[in-house]
Amino acid sequence: MSRKKNDNPHEEYSAPNGADNINHIRSSPDSNYEQHQRYAQRPLRRVNSHPNQQYQQNPYQQYPNQQYQQNPYQQYPNQQYQQNPYQQNPNQQYQQNPYQQNPNQQYQQNPYQQNPNQQYQQNPYQQQPYGNYQGQQVQRNPAPKKKVSGKKKKKKKTLGQSIRGLFPYKEDSVGERIRKLVFLGSIVAIIICGYLVADYYLDLWKSRQLTDSIKNIYITYDRSDDNEQKSDGMEKYYTLLDGARKLLDMNADSIGFITIEGTPIQNPVVKAQDNNKYLNLNFYGEESRAGTVFLDWRCNFDVVENHKLLLQNADNLVVYGHNMGDESMFGCLKYYQRDYNYYIQHPVIEFNSNYEMYKYKIFGVILVDAFDESDTKFDCWNKLYFSDENDFYDFVNEIKRRTIVSNDVDVKYGDSLLTLSTCNTTLGDNGRLLIIGRLVRDGEDPLAGTQNATPNQNVKYPNLYYQTKTYESYDPNAPFVPYGP
């Protein structure tokens, strides 16, 4: 009988009836060799040389008691199946991460986590374990630790300490002391300026309120229908106006009331023993920057005693008022200089005495230098009475040469004049703006000659004006139509 070559040295061919192998059949004393020879001719089956060892499909398995191991590189027969061939510890459970060295450490997805007792942390840079991941929220962006500087934090100063720090110390340097003194001086200047500005506008507001209240009183008791004066033979009989009586009850220096319709000028007029008293006093005699509109103390204006005129009125009544920034008192007169249309809209002045109501139509708007001593000098506020006709026409024609607004108002000898005087900034502190009108005659239209006004193209200004306005000049030979015959 021929044998097939067996590549496995641990396997042999055996008889089918339970004979262990051919050597046993041959050596058995109780068996017939030939009988066994017959059985031996049957096809032999492969059996394991170790009867207690189960069938092993893997020929490389060396230990018969070792269970099936799919991985031929597993060296320990008692070690359970390990998918990772690099796992060296047989008691270590399956680890997907081959770099995990601690066998008691559970699965860690982050290979950089060094603490085996630390549960899974989503942020790999978080070093502190915070217990169970299930009950704790993940810190996605932990706040960075503040660097501790070696400098100590400065203590906050109290309000008193901050204020005290504004003043110079003995320990301060000279430059620091100067800086603090300049700073303190600036603060004091700002406070003082703020107080002065606030006080100025507060005073103006009070002055307007006072003027409005006096105006309302005067208008309430003014009865124009009863103002016609009676004549007793050759003399005129004067009766005190109701509005004037109310003003005299408030101030004995009251001599009348002035109004320019459509403007803020609606003021009581007073007269004192000099022109300085009411420069800074209101109608009640109280301190006020706006002062009060007053008549030149040298002018007589309806001085009446026992209903008869005691003194002749001045030929030129001069009334003064401050040029206030809020246009109160005479502050609105500057618009006559700036726009001739303002003259067309407001050409008439109403100036009532305590006994009579008068209207004056404006024919001159002039600018003069109060301290002029040159050939352009014109102190018209000192011309209160005229000696004769020539004196009168010389005066009114000089006004016509100087007027900023040309008009068709005629002026005749015997006309009473009214001059409103106020300060003007065109010539600095020297400038004076004067609005001059003549009395409206009986039966005359107050607007006659005022509606065709135009700017004067050849104005005679004081020499101080031409020092700043070098491109302007006055031509004395230009055509000129004077007043009078």
Q: Is the dihedral of CA 155, 160, 164, 170 positive or negative?
A: negative
Q: Are 114 and 127 in contact (CB under 8 A)?
A: no
Does residue 79 carry a pLDDT above 90? no
Lowest mean pLDDT among 77-81, 322-326, 364-368: 77-81
At 114-165, the pLDDT tens digits run 555 555 555 555 555 444 444 455 455 555 555 555 555 666 777 776 777 7
Q: Is the dihedral of CA 356, 361, 365, 371 positive or negative?
A: negative
Burial of 91 (0-12, 13-18, 19+ CB in 10 A): exposed
Does residue 9 carry a pLDDT above 80? no
Q: How many CB atoms lie within 10 A of CB 321?
A: 24
Lowest mean pLDDT among 158-172, 249-263, 388-402, 451-465: 158-172
Give the pLDDT of residue 76.
56
Report which of 261, 260, 195, 307 is spatially closest to residue 418, judged by C-alpha positions.
260
Report which of 324, 440, 434 is spatially closest to residue 381, judged by C-alpha positions.
434
At 449-461, the pLDDT tens digits run 999 999 999 999 9
List, in order of start, the domains of the chain with CATH numbers.
11-47 (no CATH), 198-468 (2.40.260.10)
Give the pLDDT of residue 154.
63
pTM score, whole prediction: 0.64
Does residue 195 carry a pLDDT above 90? no
* pLDDT band at 204; cut points 50, 70, 90: confident
Does residue 35 carry a pLDDT above 70? no
